[in-house]
């Protein structure tokens, strides 16, 4: 994403603030917007509001171009990604895009996965989830895909209903001054996460590896594994919800 072309345009723009260079830099960076939307599970095939979300991403890109300051030694692509994602997320929250019934069903599926895992000590099947909630398989599959749209991430494995929870990367971040208790907590958390990851079905582990390590979009993962983008969406949600259930179950009281 940080190609020589973009780097050269950015350098020239920062020196001149030329409107023409701003336009060139924007056009050259448009693929970053579509890439990030794909990483968020938003595609033209699965999202009827894709064009609106892409427009929001472009607004975030323009803000990044106008406010980027190289003195902070931050890569432009990193800074722009934050601005683009933030703009898209703000739009989704403000639009309240998910119907109340769908949001409720998604929460029910998340709760059911956590409860069934705690009771049976293994990942529940989709039929077990459906039976628990009195839903059919199609409704469970749709709820799993919707779970990705409410921003399920490996970075936020804690209970999202508790505002006091902080993202995982903040809990295991490397602080300038070492605190022994925080170091131990971080090491324990990482070990627990590794153990939980290894307990997932191999296909789910592969989806997480391709998504977080290789940084592929759901569509790209689907092509790699020869499955539909919708199925990748479901596998990702199942993996994250299972990890969340396991991590929550193992938390000290």
Same domain, 11 and 104: no
Same domain, 125 and 216: yes
CATH number assigned to the domain comprising residue 113 = 1.20.140
Same domain, 147 and 60: no
Q: pLDDT tens, 29-39?
A: 999 999 999 88
Q: Which domain holds residue 140?
A: 100-250
Residues 169 and 94: their CA atoms lie apart, in Å, by 26
Domain's final residue, options 78, 95, 112 = 95
Q: pLDDT tens, 105-129?
A: 888 998 999 999 889 888 898 899 9
CATH number assigned to the domain comprising residue 77 = 1.10.1740.10
Same domain, 149 and 122: yes
Same domain, 46 and 119: no
Same domain, 238 and 139: yes
Same domain, 76 and 106: no
Instruction: Return the H-helix or E-strand segment holding 116.
Output: helix 100-120
Same domain, 40 and 109: no
Q: Which of 210, 205, 175, 170 is nearest to 189 (CA)?
A: 170
Same domain, 151 and 105: yes
**CA dihedral for 2, 6, 11, 13, sign (positive or negative):** negative
Q: How many domains is the chain built from?
A: 2
Domain's final residue, options 48, 64, 95 = 95
Q: pLDDT tens, 130-162?
A: 999 999 999 998 888 888 766 566 665 544 444
Residue by residue, DSSP assigns 30-92 as: HHHHHHHHHHTT--TTT-TTHHHHHHHHHHHHHHHHHH--GGG---HHHHHHHHHHHHHHHHH
Domain's final residue, options 62, 95, 128 = 95
Residues 121 and 142: their CA atoms lie apart, in Å, by 25
Same domain, 90 and 112: no
Exposure string over 95-113, b if 16+ CB within 10 A, otherwise e: eebeeeebbebbbbbbebb
Same domain, 164 and 43: no
Same domain, 56 and 31: yes
**CA dihedral for 35, 36, 37, 39, sign (positive or negative):** positive
Instruction: Return the H-helix or E-strand segment holding 175.
Output: none
Residues of the chain with confidence (pLDDT) below 50:
1, 158-167, 169-172, 174, 181, 252-253
Average of per-residue pLDDT values in the chain: 83
Residues 133 and 127: their CA atoms lie apart, in Å, by 10
């Amino acid at each position: 994403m940080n190609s020589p072309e973009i780097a050269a345009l950015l350098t020239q723009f920062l020196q001149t603030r030329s409107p023409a260079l701003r336009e060139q830099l924007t056009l050259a960076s448009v693929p970053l917007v579509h890439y990030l939307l794909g990483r968020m599970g938003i595609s033209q095939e699965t999202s009827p509001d894709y064009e609106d979300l892409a427009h929001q991403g472009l607004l975030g890109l323009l803000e990044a171009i106008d406010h980027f300051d190289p003195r902070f030694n931050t890569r432009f692509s990193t800074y722009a990604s934050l601005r683009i994602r933030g703009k898209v997320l703000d739009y989704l929250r403000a639009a309240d895009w998910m119907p109340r019934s769908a949001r409720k069903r998604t929460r029910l599926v998340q709760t059911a996965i956590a409860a069934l895992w705690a009771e049976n000590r293994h990942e529940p099947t989709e039929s077990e989830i459906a039976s628990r909630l009195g839903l059919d398989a199609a409704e469970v599959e749709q709820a799993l895909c919707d779970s990705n749209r409410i921003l399920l991430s490996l970075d936020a494995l804690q209970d999202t209903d508790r505002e006091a929870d902080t993202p995982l990367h903040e809990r295991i971040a490397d602080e300038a001054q070492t605190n022994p208790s925080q170091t131990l907590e971080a090491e324990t958390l990482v070990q627990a996460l590794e153990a939980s990851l290894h307990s997932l079905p191999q296909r789910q582990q592969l989806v997480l590896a391709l998504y977080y390590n290789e940084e592929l979009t759901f569509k790209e993962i689907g092509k790699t594994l020869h499955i539909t983008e919708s199925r990748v969406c479901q596998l990702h949600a199942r993996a994250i919800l299972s990890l969340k259930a396991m991590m929550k179950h193992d938390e000290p009281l």
